[in-house]
Amino acid sequence: MDFIVDFVYSSVSTFILAYFIYMILGRKRKISIIILSIMFIYQIISVIQAFLIGFPIDSVILLFLYSPTPTIFAFFLFMTFTGGFSFAHVKRKKLKNLSNHIQTKRLTEIASILVVIFAVILAPISIFLLEEPNYLVLIVCIISFILGIYMLITVKKIKMEKVILFVGINKEKIYFYDIPKNALKVEVKDFYKNEMYIVDAIGEATLYQEDKKYEKHYLYWIGTGDKIDMKDEEVVELRSLVYKDYLDHFEKYHYKKVVFIENRNGTAEFVKEKLVK
């Protein structure tokens, strides 16, 4: 019975922390997978050392069940829920659709707070309430706590979030939609309801300002030569855009994150870009 409790605790707590780290880092699996891999390697080394020292084989097997197995199970849960396994068709389809949603400032704040809370709750449990202190889970809790605090500080610097919608073969028309402060996610249908045209997500623009705070722009493009009536849509026409001269950085069928600095004269200076896909 104690084994089942320890197994469930280790598996679920490791999965939750890995998943929330994945959430606050913008649905990127890489960091969570690295953390899970480090945990697994550390635990496997402990099992191998026990075997080499001459522990009885039944004790080695028991150590394997207590130590790496919950991490393996947590990794399986994590990859399944984040669409990392090709055979998880249902979950992957749902998460593929979810990845097209905008992860808002509000959602990141909530996820960061939950990471901090879980880390604070799970850390003492891993030391005082289990039969043997799980120091590896404690280390993960500390890392998660630091990441959660860091993301909270970072997200507080976001002054405004907008959707920028380009219309036309050469992005001739520009529209914007102010993302509500309490919105947890934004879908295309929230700002553009006409299903006759395909709306492509083409990237994100981060616009830093002098006070070191910044705006986040989520960019979409309707690449058509048709004249589209936007009167019934939630977007408003934008007359000027400070990084308009750099729009060729954003291409169809690619998703880029581009960073700019806004100058006092109302122009933008290109800093860097990253191709996401």
pLDDT in tens, 157-201: 999 999 999 999 989 899 999 999 888 889 888 899 888 888 989
3-class state of residue 199 by DSSP: coil
Cα 220 to Cα 199: distance, rounded to the nearest angstrom: 6
Mean pLDDT of the 27-43 span: 81
Q: Fill in the amino acid letter for 133.
A: P
107 lies in the same domain as 210: no
176 lies in the same domain as 70: no
Cβ contact 74:11 at 8 Å: yes
Residue predicted with more confidence, 6 or 144: 144
Choosing from 137, 155, 173, the residue where a domain stops is: 155
What domain range is 247 assigned to? 159-275
The residue to which tokens 């635990």 are assigned: 43
141 lies in the same domain as 173: no
Cβ contact 155:108 at 8 Å: yes
| Cross-strand partners of 236 | 176
11 lies in the same domain as 60: yes
Give the pLDDT score at 163: 94
64 lies in the same domain as 22: yes
Give the pLDDT score at 77: 82
Residue predicted with more confidence, 192 or 14: 192
Choosing from 136, 155, 174, the residue where a domain stops is: 155
pLDDT of 93 over the 70 cut: no
For residue 82, name the pLDDT band (cuts at 50, 70, 90).
Answer: confident
pLDDT of 61 over the 70 cut: yes
Give the pLDDT score at 135: 66
pLDDT of 67 over the 50 cut: yes
For residue 239, name the pLDDT band (cuts at 50, 70, 90).
Answer: confident
The residue to which tokens 């295309």 are assigned: 188
Give the pLDDT score at 2: 59
For residue 36, name the pLDDT band (cuts at 50, 70, 90).
Answer: confident
Of 7, 15, 183, nearest to 115 (Cα)?
A: 15
Mean pLDDT of the 19-47 span: 79
Tokens read off for 9: 């605790």
> Which range, 28-32, 65-69, 138-142, 164-168, is most confident?
164-168
- Name the domain count of the chain: 2
Lowest mean pLDDT segment, chosen from 144-148, 212-216, 261-265: 144-148
